[in-house]
């Protein structure tokens, strides 16, 4: 951004030309970090190639076939060459392509790559963050191992690379290329390249914008995909011990550029473009992931004409919206309960009402019955009274009759009555 800046001449040596050195010293003191992901079917020599590239034996458990899904296993190593410290992480796909249904082969890989982006994003968004000392686990380079069939890319390869090309720098390599003859190899490379192009797969291009490396990078781009051979075995050639694979018909020398592209790979991946791979990952792939993630969560920049985007306002707005949502949910649940309570209460009231009605009816029946009984009682009492009267009247008459004459009958009555 040289806006409004005028160029001025210097009257002597000021000394800011040491800035690149100051920066480099800082980086060297801090140490470097690089993460490689190796994708390829079992048996394509991924581990061997890593060992060969970094000239060491990385420990790893023997891989097995028939994995339930694709596992990713990563190992981190602290390497040092002269005064440069490198924290190298090598991630291997275990079981890639071994499944009967290969569709989910790339899913774990995509998820893994995204998970590293996510971890960085979370760190970047923290309020108290320590980006300076953060151990960057984002994948800087993905070496895609193509099986040396000599024909074409497998559909799994195309599908996987298509899924990965917007997330990681892909460097396709032909594995175990000593299985292919020179002429077949040339055709194979052309076929692969054209298939990648026709399927719109974006592989990593070695950068040509910097004059100091433009030429070599441009040449190397034309050699992709690199046909490699890996070996940690050493064979004596002449009076030197070199990394090689020995066959009855000859010895394949790993570092012989006529035999394979191993040296080219090493040059490009490590010696010339390692920093660019890291930079591209950060400024392109990570930014894309971040942008998509934020947009997914509803963040957006205001249009360039209006007031510039304010992080605070968006956070606040998001949070208010979010809290509002939660409160609404709470309120809804409460309302639902209030409704249920109302309904249940109405139900129970209805039941209560019915109960009372039932018993009111019974009560009424009772009362009717009672009334009847009382009436019966009354009529019986009346009868009894009448009878009593009748009896009394009759007895009176009899007494009168007896008193007039017939005391014997009275006696007899009396006796009979006894």
**Which of 42, 43, 63, 79 is close enough to bind other proteins by CB under 8 A?**
79
Cβ neighbours of residue 89 under 8 Å, at least 6 residues apart?
Answer: 33, 34, 35, 36, 74, 75, 76, 77, 137
- Looking at the Cβ atoms of 233 and 383, the one nearer to other proteins is 383
CB of 86 to other proteins, least distance (A): 5
Q: Which stretch binds other proteins (CB under 8 A): 67-75, 98-106, 140-148, 186-194?
A: 67-75
What does the per-residue mask of binding to other proteins show for 337-356, with x meaning CB under 8 A?
Answer: x--xx--xx--x--xx--x-
3-state SS class at 234: strand
Distance from C-alpha of 92 to C-alpha of 43, rounded to nearest angstrom? 12
Contact letters for other proteins, residues 115-134 (x by CB under 8 A): x-----xxxxxxxxx--x--
User: Which residues inside 369-408 make contact with other proteins, applying CB under 8 A?
Assistant: 369-370, 373, 376-377, 380, 383-384, 387, 391, 394, 398, 406
H helix or E strand, kind and range, residue 79: strand 71-81
Per CB under 8 A, 160 contacts other proteins: no
Dihedral pair phi/psi, residue 400, rounded to 5°: -60, -45
Considering the complex, state which of residue 71 and residue 199 has its C-beta at the smaller distance from other proteins. 71
Say how many residues touch other proteins, by CB under 8 A: 133
Closer residue to other proteins, CB minimum distance, 10 or 100: 10
Question: What is the length of the chain?
Answer: 418
DSSP code per residue over 140-203 = -EEEEEEP--SS---HHHHHHHHHHTTTS-EEEEETTGGGS-HHHHHHHHHHHHHHHHHTT---
Instruction: Work out which of 80, 155, 222, 239 binds other proteins, going by CB under 8 A.
Output: 80
73 scored as a contact of other proteins (CB under 8 A): yes
Sign, CA torsion 150/152/155/160: positive
H helix intervals, 31-93: 46-53
Query: 276, 280, 285, 289: which one contacts other proteins (CB under 8 A)?
Result: 276
Indicate whether 101 belongs to the interface with other proteins (CB under 8 A). Answer: no
Residue of 75, 149, 246, 403 interacting with other proteins (CB under 8 A)? 75
Residue number, 132 or 182, with CB nearest to other proteins: 132
Q: Does 192 bind other proteins (CB under 8 A)?
A: no
Q: By CB under 8 A, tell whether 418 contacts other proteins.
A: no
Which residue pairs, CB below 8 angstroms and at least 24 apart, start in 232-235? 232/48, 232/51, 232/52, 232/57
Taking the complex as a whole, the smallest distance from the CB of residue 52 to other proteins amounts, in Å, to 10
Two tokens, residue 185: 């190899």
Q: Which of 71, 152, 202, 221 binds other proteins (CB under 8 A)?
A: 71
E-strand stretches of 82-140: 84-94
Judged by CB under 8 A, which of 36, 44, 54, 196 binds other proteins?
A: 54
Residue selected from 15, 200, 238, 248 as contacting other proteins according to rule CB under 8 A: 15
Q: Which residue from 210, 220, 206 is spatially nearest to 263, judged by alpha carbons?
A: 220
Within 279-308, which residues bind other proteins (CB under 8 A)? 279, 287, 290-291, 294-295, 297, 299-301, 308
Of 215, 219, 309, 399, which lies in the binding site for other proteins, with binding defined by CB under 8 A? 309
Asked if 415 touches other proteins (CB under 8 A), the answer is no
CB 325, min distance to other proteins, A: 9
- 69, 333, 345, 363 from 359: Cα distances, Å: 71, 39, 21, 6
Q: Is beta strand 226-227 parallel, antiparallel or unpaired with respect to 141-146?
A: unpaired
Q: Smallest gap, in angstroms, from Cβ of residue 355 to other proteins?
A: 6
Sign for the pseudo-dihedral over CA of 329, 333, 336, 338: negative
Residue ranges in 167-186 that form contacts with other proteins under rule CB under 8 A: none
Q: Which residue bears the tokens 């076929």?
A: 191
Rg (CA), the chain: 50
Strand 240-247 versus strand 234-237 pairing type: antiparallel
202-221: which residues touch other proteins (CB under 8 A)? 209-210, 212-213
Of the residues 316, 339, 342, 364, which one makes contact with other proteins according to CB under 8 A: 316
Contact positions with other proteins (CB under 8 A) in 237-266: 266
Six token digits for residue 318: 């998001």
Closer of 163 and 191 to other proteins (Cβ) = 163
- Does 274 bind other proteins (CB under 8 A)? Our answer is yes
Residues 418 and 412: their CA atoms lie apart, in Å, by 10
């Amino acid at each position: 951004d040289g806006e409004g800046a005028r160029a001025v001449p210097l009257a002597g040596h000021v000394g800011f030309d040491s800035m690149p050195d100051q920066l480099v010293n800082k980086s060297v003191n801090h140490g470097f970090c690089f993460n490689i992901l190796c994708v390829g079917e079992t048996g394509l020599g991924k581990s061997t190639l890593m060992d060969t590239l970094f000239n060491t034996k990385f420990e790893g458990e023997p891989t097995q076939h028939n994995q339930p899904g694709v596992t990713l296993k990563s190992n981190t190593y602290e390497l040092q060459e002269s005064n440069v410290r490198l924290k190298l992480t090598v991630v291997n796909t275990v079981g890639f392509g071994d499944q009967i249904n290969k569709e989910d082969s790339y899913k774990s890989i995509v998820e893994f790559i995204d998970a590293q982006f996510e971890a960085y994003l979370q760190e970047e968004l923290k309020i108290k963050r320590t980006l300076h000392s953060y151990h960057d686990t984002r994948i800087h380079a993905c070496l895609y191992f193509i099986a040396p069939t000599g024909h074409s890319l497998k559909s799994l390869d195309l599908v996987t690379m298509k899924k990965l090309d917007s997330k990681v720098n892909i460097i396709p390599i032909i594995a175990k290329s000593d299985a292919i003859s020179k002429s077949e190899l040339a055709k194979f490379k052309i076929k692969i390249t054209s298939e990648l192009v026709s399927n719109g797969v974006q592989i990593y291009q070695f950068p040509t914008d910097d004059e100091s490396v433009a030429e070599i990078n441009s040449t190397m781009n034309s050699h992709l995909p690199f046909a490699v051979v890996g070996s940690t075995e050493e064979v004596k050639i002449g009076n030197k011990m070199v990394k090689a694979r020995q066959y009855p018909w000859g010895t394949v020398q790993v570092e012989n550029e006529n035999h394979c592209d191993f040296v080219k790979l090493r040059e490009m991946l490590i010696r010339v473009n390692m920093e660019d791979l890291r930079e591209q990952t950060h400024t392109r792939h990570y930014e894309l992931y971040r942008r998509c993630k934020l947009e997914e969560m509803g963040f957006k920049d205001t249009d360039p004409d209006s007031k510039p985007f304010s992080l605070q306002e968006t956070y606040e707005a998001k949070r208010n919206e979010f809290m509002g949502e939660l409160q609404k949910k709470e309120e809804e649940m409460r309302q639902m309960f209030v409704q249920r309570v109302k309904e249940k209460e109405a139900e129970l009231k209805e039941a209560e009402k019915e109960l009372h009605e039932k018993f009111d009816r019974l009560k009424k029946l009772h009362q009717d019955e009672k009334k009847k009984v009382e009436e019966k009682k009354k009529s019986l009492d009346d009868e009894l009274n009448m009878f009593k009267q009748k009896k009394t009247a009759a007895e009176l008459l009899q007494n009168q009759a007896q008193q007039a004459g017939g005391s014997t009958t009275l006696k007899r009555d009396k006796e009979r009555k006894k």
